[in-house]
Structure 1
Amino acid sequence: MTTAPTPLPLTWATKLIERLHLLYGTRFSQAWEGIDKAQLAQAWAEELAGFTGDELAVGLAACKSRPWPPTLPEFIVLCRPWLDPETAFRIAVAGMQDRRSGKPGNWPHPALFWAAVEVGGYDMVLHSYQTLKSRWETAFSVHMGQGAWEDIPAPTPVLSGPSSQPASREQIDASVQEMAATAANSKPRDPKAWARKILANPKGRTQAIVEMAKRALEQHQEVVA
C-alpha cells in the first residue's frame, strides 16, 4: 500500500523559493508580501510532500515561459502535469489500453489507476473525456484525496487467440496437406505386412520362411475373426 508522503526537506523548499524569486523578482516577493520566509518555506515543504527533485525541476522549467509567478497550487500542477484532470484522463486511458494487452502501463500515481477502475476500464477506453468528464473528475478527486492507496496489481496475462487475419489460399492448401499427412501417419500399421510381402513374392525365399509367413497370416486372420 502507498501511504501519504513525507514533507519536502526545508532546505529544498528554501532553495526552491530562492529560485522562484530569482526568476520573477519583485513579482514573486509581492505575491507573498507580509509572510515570514520561514513560514513560507514550511508551507511549501508541506504542500510539496513527496515531490522528487526531477518533478521540481519540471515545475521550474515550466515557469520560464510564464510571465507571472505561479501560486502554490499552480506550481504543484506545473510539477505534476498529470494532476490536471484531462491530462490524467488521457494517461489513464493509455494505461488501461496497455493493461488490455498484458502490459503494466505508465501510472504516475496509484490514484489514476484506481479512479480508472472506478469509472470502468471499458468505458475509459471507449468514451471521450467530454463524455466521462463528470464521472472521471469525481473519481479522480476522491482517490487523490484518500492519502493512502493500494498498490497497482500486475496486469492479467493475455492468452494468444486465433488470428483475425484471413488465411490465404496457400496457407489453406498447406494446412490441408499437413492434415492429410498427419491422417496417413496415424493409420494403424499392419503387423503382418512382412508376411504378406513374402507371400506376394516368394521367389528366392526358403520353404521354411514361406511356411512361417503363411502360419503368421493364418493366426492373424483367426484373431481378427
Structure 2
Amino acid sequence: MTTNLPSSTQTSGAFPDPMEWLFGQLHGMFGNKLLDQFRSGHIVKGLDTGIENMKAVWADKIRGNGLKFADVRRGLAGAERLKWPPSWGEFLDLCRPPINVDAALYEAIEQMRKRQHGKDEWSNPAIFWAAAKVGEYDMISQTFLQLKPRFDAALKRVQEGEIKPVPERVPALAAPTASESTREYGRQRLDELNASELVRNVSKGGNIAWARQIIEEEKATGKVPLNKLNIARQAIFNVTGVQA
C-alpha cells in the first residue's frame, strides 16, 4: 500500500511543500506508526483523506499559532525523543521555547507601559495575552510580587490554546480642538473619568454588557459620541483581547 508521502528529498520545484516536508520528517522518524495514527483508508485520487486532513489541520494550526521555521525544527528535534508520533498539542509544546515567568513578567510590565504610547514590542505574543488577562491597569499599577501569581496562572492558560498575534492598541481619545466649547470638553472629560473606573473594574473581570450595548447602539444609529465609543471598545478589549 502506498504511504501517500514523498521522500523528504523529493520536490516539485526549488523548495518542497512545507507540510510535505514536515510530514516526511515525521514519517522518517516514526514510519507506519505515524501513518496508522491518521490513516482513514478512504482513498481519493490516490491520497488517503485522513492523512491529507491531518496535513491541512496542522498547516492551519502552525499558521494560527505564528510558528516560524525555527520553531518547527525545534519541535522535530524534541519529537526524536518520543516513542510514538506526537499529537498536534504535543508537537506544539515541543515547538514552543520554554518561557521564563520572571523574565516574561518584567517584559509585560515594561511593554504594557509602552503600549500606552503605541511603542510596545513583544518577544512572544503569549506574554501579551497573559498580561491582557491580568488587565492593563493592574499590570501598570501593581508590584511584581502582587502580579506574579496571577500572571503565571494567566500565562499557563494562554499557552493551553491557540495564541493569536498581538493586536494594535485601540486609538487614544483625541484632544479637544479649538472649536470645542469648554463646557462640552468638560462634559466629555467627566464622562471619561467616570468611565475610567468602569474600565479598571472590567480589567479585573467586571461586567462588560454595558460596553457591548454601546457598540450595538453605534451599529444601529451611528450617533454614539466618539469618546463614549472608545471607552466601550477599550473595556471590551481589556477583558477579551478583541477589538470591538
Smaller-chain TM-score range? 0.3 to 0.5
Please give the TM-score of this superposition, normalised by the length of structure 1. Answer: 0.46
TM normalised by structure 2 equals 0.43
Structure exhibiting the larger radius of gyration computed from Cα positions: 1
